[in-house]
Structure 1
Amino acid sequence: MRPSSALLTDHYELTMLQAALASGTAHRRSVFELFPRRLPAGRRYGIVAGVGRALDALTDFRFDAEVLETLRDVVDAPTLDWLAGYRFTGDIWGYAEGEAYFPYSPLAVVEGTFAEAVVLETLLLSIYNHDSAIASAASRMTLVAGDRPCIEMGSRRTHEQAAVAAARAAYIAGFASSSNLMARQRYGVPTAGTSAHSFTLLHDTEADAFRAQITSQGVGTTLLVDTYDVAAAVRQGIEIAGPELGAVRLDSGDLGVVAREVRDQLDALGAHRTKIVVTSDLDEYAIAALAVAPVDGYGVGTQLVTGSGHPTSGFVYKLVAREDDDGTMISVAKRSKDKISIGGRKFALRRRSAAGVAQAEVVGVGTMPRDDGDDRPLLVPLVRGGEVVGAESLETARERHRRSVAELPRVVQAMSAGDPVIPTLHI
């Protein structure tokens, strides 16, 4: 059995629960909504990720003896008794993993009692905020990379567990592989890697290092050629491996200029099929700038695992409807000046043209309008009666990402800052 996820939360979740149990309001039917009020500054769209991880965490959200012992000086005895029997028995609807989102998209709609749903706030927000930030950055990178593969290699630039989640999110958003082996074991993310500068420096000569690597990994390997002199390293690599050398990697200098020089050199040596992979603090802007360079793949680290300047998505989790004293459901919402929420249980759909191009994100309260054939409903069942029903493979989420981005207006391909590529309409 996996460890409990119940303590991946904030203290005030349980003090709210204690007060609600004492006042008799804890068992009121409630609807919470996880949503963004806005996209990160300048972003044109976002990508939902972390849904599968959140469903796993929900399954593990239990208050066993060890967890309850930790909480004995946090909440009172009646609250501990209630927590001992906790299991979420409500419903969760949400955007499927890999889907594009926009301001006020209801990414997760949690329906249950106040007590059941309120304690999930921090858990859901922490997963969705992190993973969607990574996926949103990754999507921009793969969008501008086109057919050239991107490799996630940011494990050394973030928390060790965040690195695993980042690899998963990046793969959903189109990255071809990751360097992270835990992501391979836990989620089946393909992994790749060959050597670092330390391997070259270990040997007496660069040629010795290349021979050792090629002998071990075959001529299809990727040689890191910028430890000393790039041109000399490329020449030695082809002399040792022959023209069938898989690839060379560049990790420094003006990558566009160096890539052109290396391509010319490889072609002159007859290594026409040897590819060029570039790394070194790449982000979506650097990748876009290399579009005309003879580059065959990108390795992305720091900028990816930090969300390329936006390490969180800014999602919030708000109560939008609750049961009144007479048993009817009423809409509720926060009304502060700069943090407005919209009350009511939402529906959401992507309005599209007859050609299938997205035109608007439509979010409303009440009955969903009749489908005219072009609208695409966005909320899918994730949990029904406490049972997870929305689990799916990463390949399914990955394909959904591809389709969702493909239906957005072409202006989304521009990396310049701007407003969301489609408006959110409230009806």
Structure 2
Amino acid sequence: MNTADLGLPVDVPSTALFTDHYELTMLQAALRGGTADRHSVFEVFTRRLPEGRRYGVVAGTGRVLDAVENFRFDAGVLDFLRERDVVDEPTLQWLADYRFSGDIWGYPEGEVYFPGSPVLRVEGSFAECVLLETVILSILNHDSAIAAAASRMSSAAGDRPLIEMGARRTHELAAVAASRAAYVGGFATTSDLAAGFRYGIPTVGTSAHAFTLIHDTERDAFRAQVDSLGKGTTLLVDTYDVQEAVKMAVEIAGPELGAVRIDSGDLLLVAHRVRQQLDELGATNTKIVVTSDLDEYAIASLAASPVDAYGVGTQLVTGSGHPTCSMVYKLVARAESADPKAPLVPVAKKSAGGKTSVGGRKWAARRPDADGVAEAEVVGTGAVPEELADRQLLVELVKGGEVVAREPLDAVRERHIAARDRLPLSATQLSRGEPVIPTEYV
């Protein structure tokens, strides 16, 4: 596995240190106490959606599979743990041979989820499963938050394409993951070349204000860009006077000008004026792209405007106000002993304060109404009702430590659009509300 595929610096040999100190101290104590080999079932879920959100989006599953596959304690990592005296020598020897050999089931990437949905189930020995908690949560919490924001923006944009352009507003590695998650959520392209290289996402971009400012005149800048990139390029027209810039753009490129971009001002008003001016100049096929701190609400407010595409940065890569999904990774069942034949018993946290969980290995299904629209998320621990047998959501991702469910990112993107379309229409409302369907435990 090439670490570049994970969005890692080339000098990071594995994902094993993308974890918390206490995962390893728990491991040491479990090895010494005799519970390390007990068969265990961990589940990832969220107790609630971010305030006002109607549904969540599962994203990052593909990156989780890469991270699990690359979770190795090589010599450099072991030396670091030894020098810091994180764990004792027997534990280091155990870690040296670590390979996840269990099973992972989960909602297919791109699927929607709701409070209590078991979006990922990790099963194996306690020792091998407990180590994966932090890396799994860090990926799913980040990517699912971005994908949920992207989905809302995509829904608000309708058929108009969205460009992800938030790399300069977040950590350089997070930017790559954000581009991927945005694509899952419905964005069409990204400005981030690393995301294009690693995940095959289409990339776009032309010029910034600096390009105009480095030239003696705006006309010189437009001429240089058109001469270099062709008449189908996108010219940025709000460095100085928008009206003059649009006139000049059409004079230089002709009616074949690809697009103009507006990055400031009252976008609704300016877009209408620019469209009228372009049409009067004969550039009826020239598109209008708008940027400038857009979010789903701003995009929705431009629905009646003559805008052809949106570029979104800051609000997207920060989850549009909700940068995490508050997913947790909880032990829900464990064997009575280390005997491979020992039965599983449900376990769950029962303390006060709203952090309780439901024990037992779970299945999940989405019950539709007579029209095929989702009406409930059904979660259970016993037998699956016959009428829900073909509605189950979890799929096998890893079997016996081997990844069995890699898929193209385009398939994930298409799945999300289809899953969103099967939700009640109110799922796309931007007004605050409860989850669009309830979660029922049986």
TM-score by structure 1 length? 0.99
Look up the equivalent residue of 2:59 and give its one-letter code.
A
Match of 1:286 in 2: 298
Match of residue 261, structure 1, among 241, 262, 273: 273
- CA displacement at 1:390 relative to structure 2: 1.4
Residue number in structure 2 paired with 1:418: 433
Instruction: Using the TM superposition, give the Cα deviation of residue 203 of structure 1 relative to its aligned residue in structure 2, in angstroms.
Output: 0.4
Q: What one-letter code is carried by the residue in structure 2 that aligns with 1:21?
A: L
1:360 aligns with 2:383: no
SS of equivalent to 1:417: coil
- The CA distance in 2 between the partners of 1:138 and 1:117, in whole Å, is 31
Moved more, 329-338 or 231-240: 329-338
Q: How many residues matched?
A: 426
Shift of 1:414: 1.0
Q: What corresponds to 1:408 in structure 2?
A: 423
- Structure 2 partner of 1:397: 412
Distance, in Å, in 2 between the alignment partners of 1:180 and 1:367 is: 46
Q: Distance in 2 between matches of 1:370 and 1:89?
A: 32
How far did 1:369 drift?
1.3
2:123 matched residue in structure 1? 111
Instruction: Give 1:38 shift.
Output: 0.4
In the TM superposition, residue 419 of structure 1 has moved relative to its aligned partner by 0.1
Q: TM-score, normalised by structure 2?
A: 0.95
Counting only pairs closer than 5 Å after superposition, residues 151-166 of structure 1 correspond to structure 2 as 151-166=163-178
Q: Kindly provide the CA deviation profile for residues 317-349 of structure 1, in whole angstroms up to 9, marking residues without a partner as x.
A: 000000013721100001122101100000001
% identical aligned pairs: 68
1:33 is the counterpart of 2:43: yes
Q: Secondary structure at the match of 2:49?
A: coil
4+ residue runs of structure 1 moved beyond 2 angstroms? Answer: none
CA distance in 1, matches of 2:382, 2:125: 20
User: Residues 223-372 of structure 1 correspond to what in structure 2 (within 5 A)?
Assistant: 223-325=235-337, 327-337=342-352, 338-371=354-387
Quote the RMSD (CA, aligned, Å): 0.9
> Which string of whole-angstrom CA distances, capped at 9 and with x for unpartnered residues, describes residues 16-57 of structure 1?
000000000010000000111100000000101000001001
Structure 2 partner of 1:69: 79
Per the TM alignment, residue 210 of structure 1 is displaced from its structure 2 partner at its CA by 0.3
1:17-166 paired onto structure 2 within 5 Å: 17-72=27-82, 73-166=85-178
User: Using the alignment, how far apart are the partners of 1:98 and 1:328 within structure 2?
Assistant: 34
**Whole-angstrom distance in 2 between the partners of 1:144 and 1:185:** 28
Deviation at 1:372, TM superposition (A): 5.4
Matches within 5 A, 1:169-180: 169-180=181-192
> Which residue of structure 2 aligns with residue 4 of structure 1?
14
TM-fit CA distance, 1:289: 0.4
The offset of 1:355, in angstroms, is 1.8
Cα deviation 1:229-286 (Å, max 9, x = unaligned) = 0000000000000011110000000100000000110111111110100000000000
Structure 2 alignment gaps of length 5 or more: 4-12
Q: Which amino acid aligns with 1:203?
A: H
How far apart, CA to CA, are the structure 2 residues paired with 1:68 and 1:370? Answer: 50
Cα deviation, residue 376, structure 1: 2.1
Letter in 1 for 2:241: D
Matched residues in 1 for 2:103 and 2:370: separation?
Answer: 33
